[in-house]
């Protein structure tokens, strides 16, 4: 138990809700407390004073609370910016797809290049694949930018450590403790006998 004041209704830290990764989830109470910590910092309180007043474990946890409050304030603006950027990327992607759907003819020195179609035997404009290939590159770049914007390409982090203790492990630990105690007793006997 710490000597910092605690909210009477707040559960102890080991009972706080956690997400699927085992991290603590923020509650409305913790969000309000972090916002209050930022207010107190603006009133020139020290992190230790904030920790003492609001029940943070220590001044470092109070510092983290202020940092979380700053992120909470910036989050709506960031969300709006991401939405705006997403709309612009959607428009660019739609334009690249439209370019892919159009036919492009090869032009050289201001004249359309023609070729004889072996199936029909008629002269037809030679299609230019350059604009379509460029549109494909742009579409891929737009998709990459969209994935980066929304954090879709971040690798999943899995950190799992499993410790299994068997009865044999416990017995081995006990044997090691007994052996160490016996060696320690023998060393002490030798020291005692050496002094005499």
pLDDT for 146-173, tens place per residue?
A: 888 877 776 666 666 677 778 887 888 8
pTM above 0.75, yes or no: no
- How buried is residue 55: exposed, middle or buried, by Cβ count under 10 Å (0-12/13-18/19+)? middle
Angle between helices 28-42 and 59-101 (to 10 degrees): 110
Q: DSSP letter at 109?
A: T
pLDDT of 49: 94
Top-ranked range on mean pLDDT: pick from 5-9, 153-157, 180-184: 180-184
In the block, tokens 């003492």 appear at 52
Specify the pairing of strand 123-125 against strand 114-116. antiparallel
Domain segments of the chain: what residues? Answer: 13-150
Higher pLDDT: 37 or 22? It is 37
Q: What is the pLDDT of residue 2?
A: 42
- Provide mean pLDDT across the span 49-77: 87
Work out the mean pLDDT of the chain and round it to a whole number: 81
Residue 6 has pLDDT above 60, yes or no: no
């Amino acid at each position: 138990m710490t000597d910092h004041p605690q909210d009477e209704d707040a559960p102890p830290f080991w009972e706080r809700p956690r997400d699927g990764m085992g991290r603590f989830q923020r509650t409305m109470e913790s969000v309000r407390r972090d916002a209050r910590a930022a207010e107190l910092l603006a009133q020139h309180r020290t992190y230790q004073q904030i920790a003492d007043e609001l029940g943070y474990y220590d001044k470092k946890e109070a510092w983290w609370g202020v940092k979380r409050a700053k992120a909470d304030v910036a989050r709506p603006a960031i969300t709006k910016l991401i939405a705006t950027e997403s709309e612009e990327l959607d428009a660019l992607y739609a334009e690249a797809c439209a370019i892919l759907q159009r036919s492009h003819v090869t032009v050289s020195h201001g004249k359309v290049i023609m070729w004889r179609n072996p199936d029909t035997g008629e002269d037809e404009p030679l299609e230019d694949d350059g604009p379509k290939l460029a549109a494909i590159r742009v579409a891929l770049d737009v998709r990459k930018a969209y994935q980066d914007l929304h954090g879709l390409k971040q690798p999943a982090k899995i950190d799992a450590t499993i410790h299994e203790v068997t009865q044999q492990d416990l017995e081995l630990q006990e044997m090691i403790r007994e052996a160490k105690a016996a060696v320690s007793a023998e060393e002490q006997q030798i020291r005692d006998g050496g002094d005499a």
